[in-house]
Chains A and B, each alone.
Chain A
Amino acid sequence: MSATTEGPTFALSNLTYAYGSRWKRPSLPAVTGVTSEIHPGVTAVLGLSGSGKTTLLNLLGLLADARLQPGQITFRGTADYAALRSSAQVKLRRDAFGFVLQSSFLLPHFSCWENVAVPLALVGIHRAERRKRVERLFAQADLSGRLTALMEKRPRDISGGERQRVAVLRAIVHDPLVLFADEPLSSLDPLNAKEMLKLLRHWLNGGMSLASAPDRRRTLLLVSHDVSTAVRFAEGRCLIMRAGAMVRGPDRPVPDERTALVDMGVIEE
């Protein structure tokens, strides 16, 4: 996917963040001095464990308490995170963001379709309409022909890969502008990982009619330890983190997996 000529989804300026609280002194920064732009399309966030990629995702997704950090994040050129009130952050997460994490975190007391429908319920869509939309989503996403059968099942009754795909559906059911996928493939076998990526691509390309504008500019931020898959899926647009600092931004696509591994510090140049 090529980068658009329009403005970035996120603009990061000298972003620094250290974990801590009001009462605890902040530890060493997990992210330091990151300045970059992230445009619609896929951006792979790569790095070794502890390099700050998940922290970066949390900051961009408004999941972390960002009050202690200096630096600036701007969403779509208008929403300055530093100026966002708590309620506005909640609204942004609810309306514009979707999250897929390493674990699916499905609600055990809801069936699969009800789990998928949670974001719709949060924006006040009534049950019948929720059901209709989720049924359509399952049908459109059912590339393997097995997904629809899961609708009425409880999460405990399906496999980990299936749970993860249901989690993806939950993340995209309201057609967010940005999907944050933090190591969604790590617990999946190759076949399920492939299915997952197909699903993400399908959504990114607007292959699911989710009642949004057809020309919607979607952004996928993918964190993965599977460097070759991530580089290939992002077509080289990678944000590579090393010890909290960004060593390569998406504006300088990596030509191959080896370059990415060098940037990450896995292999010597």
Chain B
Amino acid sequence: MTWGYLIEFAFRDLTARSAIRATLVVVAAVAFAVAFAFTGFGFVYGVERAELSRLTRDPLSTCLWAGDNTLNGRHIHEDDAGKLYAAVLAAVGQPDRVRGVYPIRVVQFNFAMKSGNDTPVTGRTIRLGASADPLPESRPVHAGGRWFNGPDDTGIVVVPSFLASLGYDPEHPPETITLVTSRVRVEVPVRGVMLQELPIRNHSYVLPESYSEGLLHPLETDPSNSTAVSGPVPKGLIDDIDKTGLDQFQATLKAAILNAFPAQEFVVTPTTEGRFTKLSISTRSTSEPPTAAPTLRKSEWETHLKQIAAAVNWPSSDSFVKAKVEPTRSPGLISGDAAAQTGFDLLAVYVNDVLALAPAAKASETYVLSNDRRLVVDRNVVDQVTRVGEQSARYEAGMSIVAGAMSFVFAGMVWFVFRVRAEQQIAEIGMLKAMGMGRLGWLAMIQGLMVGSAGALLGTIVGVVLIEQAAMRLYPDDALAAEAATYRTPQLVASVVAAALVGCMACAWEATRRARTLSPAVAIRTAG
């Protein structure tokens, strides 16, 4: 007997008029079981995937806060960020799963309230530029506001409660707020108001690193430097130089300078800026061995330039005596370590995959800072991901029990229907055996495979529809989460379908065992 005939025989036996109802009952039972398992397990895995997807989409949910657990210690150095990034990469394994490590300074400034008093408020810096801190992705600002344009941008972005505490309406933020120090009051532009609070509770505003530095150490009004550039040399003098020659001019100038700076040694270099000729004058150390060049304040440079102008008898030399001195920053508006130290307080470790958080946290906790201190990591987000996984595992276990029980019931149904059919056909089976038909066990399994396939196909279609509907109802306002929750991977389909097919084949085989194993004589007599 050929396999083709066996398959044809099985199919026609299942679809015979006398058998079609029983066949449809079995197909429906299998379809129901498959749809239930597919929907149930798909839903469990889908919700986990959707929750993880939601976490992944918010960079702050993929961010670990690592600090050295000291107050205003600033023990984290610039190179620690790079080294920790390398350590996290090594722990996570795949570069695309790690986004970056960003250093943060925690700052505290006094701000003027609308009432006139001032109050200290804590904020944080943000690193901007080519590899910018992703915080703005997590904390959009109200309409009309914006985050910073680049590392040199100024101003602050604040949380709503901060403005409210100063007496302003967060819905209508002021253009600037006043930062108060013991020496000056600085108007700080408010670039935007975040829709939500910052994740670290006492942080009320964000400002660019360089701007923060500027506020802490503003430019000196009278900077001190070892080099100054004069204003343009008077035009009439240039004509004289052309007449008398450069050597004569330099000799005259040198005598004037020596007269102006009797106790110093200087290097004078004519420089050209555009169409103007200027003098670049630098101090030089006279001690042996040479030490750092002495510095002069801008006002002192200008006094000396006036003396030089007078010595060389330059008329109308007002522009010449305007010294250009590189700006320098003040020691600080705010006293204390925070102003003096240049390190960072925190490192924000961002990953692209929430499942990389745990190894990233471990790598961060074991990282040793340049000053031999260890980092302390806030494991909040790791715990959140763990909770999602644990919840999913609980649901999966529950679903396994329910699906197992249902499979048992449906397998019993399938077995019963096949059994009844086999008992009804016992004489036919006996006659077929009498005629020398073998492979009756295979015949039963092929029939099981056929009804299992039909049921699995139907159940899978129903399951796909159900799971889509369930996902859309669970996440009505979040298309991405709904898509993630629509879990229908080939692995799930293959597992459920394979279980259904194997179950049906086993049921059919077992249900027909008695009819198959009876001798033809007994089978025929039983029917009679």
Footprint of B on A, CB under 8 Å? 55, 58, 61, 63-65, 87, 90-95, 97, 99, 101-103, 105, 107-110, 118-119, 121-124, 126, 170
Task: Give the complex CA separation of A102 and B428 in angstroms.
Answer: 13
Residues of B within 8 A of A58 (CB): 520-521
Q: Which 6 A-B pairs have the closest CB atoms?
A: A94-B436, A109-B16, A58-B521, A63-B521, A105-B431, A63-B520
**Chain B 490-528 against A: per-residue CB contact (8 Å), 1 yes, 0 no?**
000000000000000000000000000001111010011
Most chain A beta-carbon contacts within 10 A, residue among B428, B432, B435, B437: B435
The answer to whether B519 touches A64, judged by C-beta atoms less than 8 angstroms apart, is yes
Interface flag for B175 (CB, 8 Å): no
Residues of A within 8 A of B435 (CB): 93-94, 99, 118-119, 122, 170
Task: Give the complex CA separation of A112 and B522 in angstroms.
Answer: 25
Count the A-B residue pairs with Cβ separation under 8 angstroms: how many? 77
The answer to whether B521 touches A122, judged by C-beta atoms less than 8 angstroms apart, is no
Which B412-459 residues have a C-beta within 8 angstroms of A?
A: 427-428, 430-438
Given A109-B13, A119-B436 in contact, is the A103-B519 Cβ separation under 8 Å?
no
The answer to whether A61 touches B13, judged by C-beta atoms less than 8 angstroms apart, is no
Interface flag for B2 (CB, 8 Å): yes
The answer to whether B524 touches A101, judged by C-beta atoms less than 8 angstroms apart, is yes
Given contacts A105-B428, A105-B431, A122-B435, 13 further A-B contacts (CB under 8 A): A55-B521, A63-B519, A87-B438, A94-B435, A94-B437, A99-B435, A103-B528, A108-B18, A119-B436, A121-B2, A123-B1, A126-B2, A170-B435
A254 to chain B, nearest CB (A): 27
Task: Output the nearest chain A residue to B431 by Cβ-Cβ distance.
Answer: A105
Task: Give the complex CA separation of A103 and B520 in angstroms.
Answer: 14
13 contacts between A and B (CB under 8 A): A55-B521, A87-B438, A94-B435, A97-B434, A99-B435, A102-B528, A105-B430, A105-B431, A108-B16, A109-B12, A118-B437, A124-B1, A126-B2
Contact partner, A64, options B19, B428, B438, B521, Cβ 8 Å: B521
Given A118-B432, A121-B1 in contact, is the A109-B19 Cβ separation under 8 Å?
yes
Task: Give the complex CA separation of A102 and B528 in angstroms.
Answer: 9
Residues of B within 8 A of A93 (CB): 433-436
The answer to whether A95 touches B434, judged by C-beta atoms less than 8 angstroms apart, is no
Task: Give the complex CA separation of A58 and B12 in angstroms.
Answer: 29
Residues of A within 8 A of B430 (CB): 105
Residues of B within 8 A of A108 (CB): 16-18
A174 to chain B, nearest CB (A): 9
**Chain B 1-45 against A: per-residue CB contact (8 Å), 1 yes, 0 no?**
110010000001101111100000000000000000000000000
Given A107-B428, A108-B18, A110-B12 in contact, is the A99-B436 Cβ separation under 8 Å?
no
Residues of B within 8 A of A107 (CB): 13, 428
B478 to chain A, nearest CB (A): 53
Residues of B within 8 A of A65 (CB): 519, 521-522
The answer to whether A109 touches B15, judged by C-beta atoms less than 8 angstroms apart, is yes
Task: Output the nearest chain A residue to B436 by Cβ-Cβ distance.
Answer: A94
The answer to whether B12 touches A99, judged by C-beta atoms less than 8 angstroms apart, is no
B425 to chain A, nearest CB (A): 9
B324 to chain A, nearest CB (A): 105
The answer to whether B427 touches A103, judged by C-beta atoms less than 8 angstroms apart, is yes
A244 to chain B, nearest CB (A): 16
The answer to whether A99 touches B431, judged by C-beta atoms less than 8 angstroms apart, is yes
Residues of A within 8 A of B12 (CB): 109-110
Task: Give the complex CA separation of A126 and B19 in angstroms.
Answer: 26
A181 to chain B, nearest CB (A): 13
Task: Output the nearest chain B residue to A170 by Cβ-Cβ distance.
Answer: B435
Task: Give the complex CA separation of A65 and B13 in angstroms.
Answer: 27
Given A103-B427, A109-B12 in contact, is the A61-B528 Cβ separation under 8 Å?
no
B14 to chain A, nearest CB (A): 9
Residues of A within 8 A of B428 (CB): 105, 107
Which B363-381 residues have a C-beta within 8 angstroms of A?
A: none
B345 to chain A, nearest CB (A): 82
A127 to chain B, nearest CB (A): 8
B455 to chain A, nearest CB (A): 21
Task: Output the nearest chain A residue to B19 by Cβ-Cβ distance.
Answer: A109
Residues of A within 8 A of B17 (CB): 108-109
A1 to chain B, nearest CB (A): 25
Residues of B within 8 A of A90 (CB): 433, 436, 438
Task: Output the nearest chain B residue to A119 by Cβ-Cβ distance.
Answer: B435
Residues of A within 8 A of B519 (CB): 63-65
Residues of B within 8 A of A126 (CB): 2
Most chain A beta-carbon contacts within 10 A, residue among B13, B428, B432, B434: B434
Contact partner, A122, options B1, B15, B19, B524, Cβ 8 Å: B1
Residues of A within 8 A of B15 (CB): 109
Residues of B within 8 A of A95 (CB): 436
A16 to chain B, nearest CB (A): 16
Given A63-B519, A108-B18 in contact, is the A99-B13 Cβ separation under 8 Å?
no
Task: Output the nearest chain B residue to A107 by Cβ-Cβ distance.
Answer: B428
Task: Give the complex CA separation of A121 and B522 in angstroms.
Answer: 24
Residues of A within 8 A of B1 (CB): 121-124
A93 to chain B, nearest CB (A): 4
Task: Give the complex CA separation of A165 and B519 in angstroms.
Answer: 25
Residues of A within 8 A of B437 (CB): 94, 118, 122
